[in-house]
Chains A and B, each alone.
Chain A
């Protein structure tokens, strides 16, 4: 699949946009980085999300797909504490209200036509994430 991202987003902005469009019931979720890799790898191969395929180049050799870009983006959001981990085991992630602030202030103004598609992708990612319960 040859496709370059058509968005103006770079770095962790795309992942922020996806998380910011989660519904209220998914503001906490249990995952691991490798699960996120699987989810995004699976979804971005879908023709419907072709426009976003360039966001995360995936190394597909071996049993698990890996994307340094996605790994870096997820780490950045945690470094900035827009996505946090909950005690005691730090295995449940939560989306901070600060992520919504950032999305509204800095990211949403960069989006145009792809806004609805990001919302749709967010719903798909949400559906695939394990439950935090």
Chain B
């Protein structure tokens, strides 16, 4: 067993407590998005474990709540929502294709949905960016690795669910509730992996129009107070299963019939709106940088997060170590350090919203002449730094040093947001059958270039930032230094709009 798997074993054992599962009857819970949700007894038993309850302490959208005050929803309600909607998708498909979809299918997809985010750590996708690059996990994700091309979060969730500790726990659940589904029947769905004849099960959990997206787009929008229209009921009614032959294998896939086009378009626009106005809001990005600053500081100083001090704390060297952290654990860490310590201050700046501020905004519109080939070339080279965290930090450090102000490096960040999702709704397979009973499956983007339009729209909103401390003098110096360095290193000429509004009269 590899080191990461050993660590995950320990984490799961710790969070299942070795105690027998709570025994439950079915329960009904109320959800602001879906209304009444039924949770079956065996699902309640899993939800009752600390392994799932910890998701109550992880905000679904990281620090979005620092800008949209009501976006305080957590991974927990999202998890319950995804389970519900996965079950509904399977139910719809079952009505239409009883030969393919059985009650056991519904059980499988609901369990996979229930556990799909169990590997999340503090601040959700913010920490995913960090643990995804830890050596032990990145080795598994790279070419030739055991989980080549998979997402970091989904691999951690899969490893949790397939750990021996969870298997032992689940064996008790199976026995008591007399359910036939086994872990290996549903855990691979978290990775988007299924037998070709059951590909639709993987599509429900991890596909272009999966239960995850159908829950988080409307849930995040509603919680943030952003009006979004996604006609999920209509979409559900337009899902079906069709066969597709590829490399002489027959895949039974979930597809969308013509009547669902409009709902997918709404889903694409919802995504674009959420990215432009919520997930990539500059204050949210500033918070993300501040979280990274805390982890960087701990790394530099060799400090350990004291959570589970009984185990000596964790230095977060392994991706699995991040599982020990929830948002609350992160904030509680401040109290392991004296008030005057940098660690305490960095964490409390986040807790009490003393945020970094923009010094520069770098977009296609703030480049002096984006029609100039040299400028576009330089911009592209700069924009590509988002793929290399080390180079990005090096640039921030160069700016800090050039500014010649005595501020520490944890307060200067160049931020180029990345898009975390790649299974796009435009890739959904649609059935263009003319009613002769023979399916004709095509990707939506080949029928209506809606996803291309939305991508193009989204490109106009992409913004990168230079963040610095609130002090205007310091940020003005940082802005001046950055303008010089971007000119020298990338040949980029920025216009006045690139300078943060409150610094405009201080930067020549």
Contacts and interface: CB of A to CB of B under 8 A. Distances in A.
Interface of A: 1-4, 10-13, 16, 32-34, 53-54, 56-68, 71-72, 75-82, 85, 89-91, 96-102, 105-106
A81 B375 CA distance: 11
A20 to B, nearest CB: 11
B143 A91 contact: no
Contact of A96 (B251, B373, B381, B455): B373
A22 to B, nearest CB: 17
A62 B424 CA distance: 15
Contacts of B445: 32-33
Interface string B405-430: 00000000000001100111001000
A13 B391 CA distance: 14
Contacts of A1: 143-144
Nearest to B207: A62
14 contacts: A1-B143, A1-B144, A54-B142, A57-B142, A57-B143, A58-B143, A61-B192, A61-B193, A63-B196, A72-B418, A76-B383, A78-B456, A79-B383, A81-B376
Contacts of A12: 380, 384, 387
B384 A10 contact: yes
Given A1-B144, A59-B192, A78-B455, A98 B376 contact: yes
B149 interface: yes
B244 interface: yes
B459 A59 contact: no
Contact of A106 (B193, B381, B456): B381
Interface string B442-461: 01011001001101100100
A56 B191 contact: no
Contacts of B453: 90
Given A57-B149, A61-B193, A61-B202, A10 B388 contact: yes
Contact of A75 (B193, B388, B455): B455
A50 B249 CA distance: 26
A77 B192 contact: no
A121 to B, nearest CB: 16
B276 interface: no
A74 B386 CA distance: 14
A75 B383 CA distance: 11
A54 B196 CA distance: 27
B129 to A, nearest CB: 13
A105 B149 contact: no
Contacts, number: 146
Contact of A4 (B142, B150, B374): B142
Residue among B141, B193, B246, B381 with most chain A CB within 10 A: B381
B180 interface: no
A2 B253 contact: no
Nearest to B196: A63
B280 interface: no
Contacts of A101: 373-374, 376-377
Contacts of A102: 376-378, 380-381
B300 to A, nearest CB: 23
B370 interface: yes
Contacts of A63: 196, 199, 244, 246, 249, 251, 253
List 3 tightest A-B contacts by C-beta distance, closest first.
A11-B387, A59-B149, A80-B380
A89 B383 contact: no
Given A63-B253, A78-B459, A90-B449, A68 B384 contact: no
A78 B443 CA distance: 21
A108 B507 CA distance: 35
B459 to A, nearest CB: 5
Contact of A2 (B144, B374, B376, B383): B144
A89 B149 contact: no
Interface in B308-342: none
A122 B388 CA distance: 24
Contacts of A91: 449, 452
Contacts of B246: 63-64
A32 B385 CA distance: 25
A130 to B, nearest CB: 11
Given A62-B251, A89-B449, A98-B377, A34 B443 contact: yes
A100 B377 CA distance: 8
B143 A77 contact: no
Given A58-B148, A101-B374, 18 more contacts: A1-B143, A4-B143, A33-B445, A59-B150, A61-B191, A62-B192, A62-B194, A68-B422, A71-B422, A77-B380, A78-B456, A79-B364, A80-B376, A89-B452, A91-B449, A98-B373, A101-B377, A102-B377
